[in-house]
Amino acid sequence: MGPCPLASRHPAIVLIDGNNFYASCEAVMDPAVLGRPLVVLSNNDGCIVSRSAEARALGIRMGQPYFQVRRDLERQGVVVRSSNYTLYADMSQRLMATLEPWVEALEIYSIDEAFGRLGRPAGNGDLSDWGQQLRHHVLCQLGLPVAVGIGPSKVLAKLANRVAKTTPGRNGVFDIGSIPDPDPYLEAIAVEEVWGIGRQLSRWCRLRGISHARALRDMPTGELRRRCGVVGVRLQQELRGHACLPLELVPAAKRETCVSRSFSQPITTQGALKEAIATYLSRAAEKLRRQRQRAGAITVFVRSSPFNGTSFYSNSATVTLPLASNDTAVLLAAALPLVTQLFRPHKPLQKAGVLLQALQSTTTLQHHLLLPLPEEQQHRREALMAAIDALNRRYGSGTVQWAAAGLHTPWRMRRSRLSRSATTQLDAIPLVQA
């Protein structure tokens, strides 16, 4: 059938989802771990955030603190890796580029999920074979296993994807739009697992005896409208096979950009806190430029650990810029004085971050009389920022760094089991000896 069937009767929505994405990316880069239980840890090697199928089979749970289960993992021979966000982001971009020719339109929903729209082929209209071909293509091109859910709407495609992952014999693909009676599958999905159902709405449904997706689909529409308005009605219509949620082909402009981290060891000096804030602000400024936005305000926040034996401390401070900017030097000059306001002696800090607010597009006209620098010098600053970003993209994040971020940074995030970034760094490419 191949990419994007052309002959069609009715449009179909497909959800492609990477299986155990972080763990799968690690296995792609290190075939020695294939078939072995593997877990990936969160920031500072804190909790388990991804598990291979083999690790799931051992009963290892998501969110377990690593220090609590470290000895059990060692005893069971589990491979443990720190989160390698550079690798995962690059593999995500490759995955989305691979999927694009297979659908008429693609919405990137998350780092490992994408919705697509395509037409159903003539005949019985079943897209299961197409889904299997897509899975095989992604596996051959990238080494990543994916699950494919297909339905007439986003909500049904999401449910079909869940069935594809959890039902033996489906081989990772399920087309709920091609079967004559979908009710048994909808009855097997708890109402809490329906995409778009929050905790309060699921509790409200349970109190009325609505325990699964089919019951939610068939309940009186008026009752649902009175409880949650048009949002609930759209969700119900989606369950009935009427597409109400369009694909978002152009990501919505971000309203805020945040960079925050927990420290590998508590920060106890004002100088170290300034270095951390400068590091996070540099990263946030890079994000702004990539998003083609400027920030009109900056919030810096800090907090201590509630478990360190001292009284808990949490605080924040905000500065408004006279003119929105994405120039790292401008943002640093505005934000670093806030550190003096926030730092408290004898309050060891466990986490800090920056929040860029009042974002506006770089296409918004700014009168040259308001520019902080002459127009020609402003263009040179923009070219400098672009050159720094290009070097960091090519040679790795932090290749060119601002002096305010410091050189000796023991507080940086702990990643003692970090794998190599072989897809983005030349010196990390594996070498094979003949």
Quick one: pLDDT at residue 61? 94
Is residue 24 scored above 90 in pLDDT? yes
The pLDDT mean for the chain works out to: 88
Q: Would you say 105 and 117 are in contact if contact means Cβ atoms under 8 Å apart?
A: yes
Please state, in angstroms and rounded to a whole number, the distance separating the CA atoms of residues 348 and 354: 18
Q: Would you say 156 and 241 are in contact if contact means Cβ atoms under 8 Å apart?
A: yes
Identify the weakest region by mean pLDDT among 234-243, 278-287, 313-322, 387-396. Answer: 387-396
Is residue 211 scored above 60 in pLDDT? yes
CATH 3.40.1350.10 fits 1-179, yes or no: no
Please state, in angstroms and rounded to a whole number, the distance separating the CA atoms of residues 406 and 119: 54
Residue ranges, comma separated, of all CATH 3.30.70.270 domains in the chain are: 1-179
Residue ranges, comma separated, of all CATH 3.30.1490.100 domains in the chain are: 257-405
- C-alpha closest to that of 155 among 124, 109, 121: 109
pTM: 0.80
pLDDT digits (tens, 9 = 90+) for 171-203: 999 999 998 899 999 999 999 999 988 888 999
Please state, in angstroms and rounded to a whole number, the distance separating the CA atoms of residues 430 and 432: 7
Please state, in angstroms and rounded to a whole number, the distance separating the CA atoms of residues 227 and 250: 31
Q: Would you say 150 and 176 are in contact if contact means Cβ atoms under 8 Å apart?
A: yes
Please state, in angstroms and rounded to a whole number, the distance separating the CA atoms of residues 407 and 321: 28
- Compute how many other C-beta atoms are within 10 angstroms of the C-beta atom of residue 82: 20
Q: Average pLDDT for residues 378-397, to the nearest whole number?
A: 87
Please state, in angstroms and rounded to a whole number, the distance separating the CA atoms of residues 367 and 387: 25
- Residues 284-306 as b/e (b if ≥16 CB within 10 A, e otherwise) read bbbebbebebbbebbbbbbbbbe
Model confidence at 394, pLDDT cuts 50, 70, 90, reads confident
Is residue 286 scored above 90 in pLDDT? yes
Is residue 413 scored above 80 in pLDDT? no
Q: Average pLDDT for residues 405-428, to the nearest whole number?
A: 76
Quick one: pLDDT at residue 365? 53
Q: What proportion of the chain, given as a percentage, has pLDDT over 90?
A: 65
Q: What proportion of the chain, given as a percentage, has pLDDT over 70?
A: 93
pLDDT digits (tens, 9 = 90+) for 313-351: 999 999 999 999 999 999 999 999 999 999 998 899 999
Say what angle helices 270-291 and 375-395 make with each other, to 10 degrees: 100
pLDDT digits (tens, 9 = 90+) for 118-163: 988 766 688 999 999 999 999 999 999 999 999 999 999 999 999 9
Q: Average pLDDT for residues 415-420, to the nearest whole number?
A: 78
Model confidence at 368, pLDDT cuts 50, 70, 90, reads very low
- C-alpha closest to that of 144 among 106, 97, 95: 95
Q: According to the 3-state scheme, what is the secondary structure of the chain?
A: CCCCCCCCCCEEEEEEEECCHHHHHHHHHCHHHCCCCEEEECHHHCEEEEECHHHHHCCCCCCCEHHHHHHHHHHCCCEEEECCHHHHHHHHHHHHHHHHHHCCEEEEEECCEEEEEEECCCCCCCCHHHHHHHHHHHHHHHCCCEEEEEECCHHHHHHHHHHHHHCCCCCCEEEHHHCCCCHHHHHCCEHHHCCCCCHHHHHHHHHCCCCEHHHHHHCCHHHHHHHHHHHHHHHHHHHCCCCCCCCCCCCCCCCCEEEEEEEEEEECCHHHHHHHHHHHHHHHHHHHHHHCEEEEEEEEEEEECCCCCCCCCEEEEEEEEEEEECCHHHHHHHHHHHHHHHCCCCCCEEEEEEEEECCEECCCCCCHHHCCCCHHHHHHHHHHHHHHHHHHHHHCCCCCCCHHHCCCCCCCCCCCCCCCCCCCCHHHCCCCCC
Q: Would you say 106 and 251 are in contact if contact means Cβ atoms under 8 Å apart?
A: no
Q: Would you say 263 and 351 are in contact if contact means Cβ atoms under 8 Å apart?
A: yes
Strands 257-267 and 173-175: unpaired
Structure-block tokens of residue 313: 């401390």
Is residue 13 scored above 90 in pLDDT? yes
Task: Pick 112 or 306 by higher pLDDT.
Answer: 112
Quick one: pLDDT at residue 6? 44
- C-alpha closest to that of 258 among 185, 364, 359: 359
pLDDT digits (tens, 9 = 90+) for 82-93: 999 889 999 999
Q: Which residue type is seen at 325? A: S
Q: Average pLDDT for residues 271-291, to the nearest whole number?
A: 94
Q: Would you say 34 and 163 are in contact if contact means Cβ atoms under 8 Å apart?
A: no
Q: Average pLDDT for residues 288-314, to the nearest whole number?
A: 90
Q: Average pLDDT for residues 95-104, to the nearest whole number?
A: 95
Strands 314-325 and 173-175: unpaired
DSSP lists the bridge partners of residue 257 as: 356
Model confidence at 279, pLDDT cuts 50, 70, 90, reads very high
- Compute how many other C-beta atoms are within 10 angstroms of the C-beta atom of residue 35: 11
What homologous superfamily does CATH list for 257-405? DNA polymerase, Y-family, little finger domain (3.30.1490.100)
Is residue 8 scored above 50 in pLDDT? no
Quick one: pLDDT at residue 5? 52
With tokens 């792609």, the residue in question is 28
Quick one: pLDDT at residue 168? 84
Quick one: pLDDT at residue 369? 46
Is residue 407 scored above 90 in pLDDT? no
